Structure 1
């Protein structure tokens, strides 16, 4: 599984790269703030919302500490998606939030 640190992801965003970030935390966690532009799909909804994801796109998966996003990556990889897990999750995120 591909991994990226929170700092590396923040640097990509700061450099203006167009990234697709999926936040798999629950609603109450996302309400405390998320990475700007991140799409919110709670982990439990990913199987039923696969139609919203494009296999030709690269997704960065994010959760609170990196565990649930790792599970999401493993699931999506089985279906042929190109995904990278942000290790450390939002606990490691020091960048801007919305």
Structure 2
């Protein structure tokens, strides 16, 4: 999986996600939603995906620099401790790279 790849997640009913960033065991994917977008964060080690645990998440997941920073946050390389939301996480079954 690399930046720009189109992905179909097994649980997303053939909706195409675009990989915005990959770092260590994490990836951030987006897909369009009208004039906005949905995003999901994948943790390959825990085999889960979901939104960030930040209540007010000011990260622009379409911005390359924001994505790089958030991936470093997830990897524990910054002072900001960010995880995938416990309430909104789901098991990551499988995916297809198109």
- TM-score normalised per structure 2: 0.33
Q: Which structure features the higher share of strand residues?
A: 2
- TM-score normalised per structure 1: 0.33
**1 or 2 for the larger relative contact order (CA 8 Å, sep ≥6)?**
1
Q: Which structure features the higher share of helix residues?
A: 1
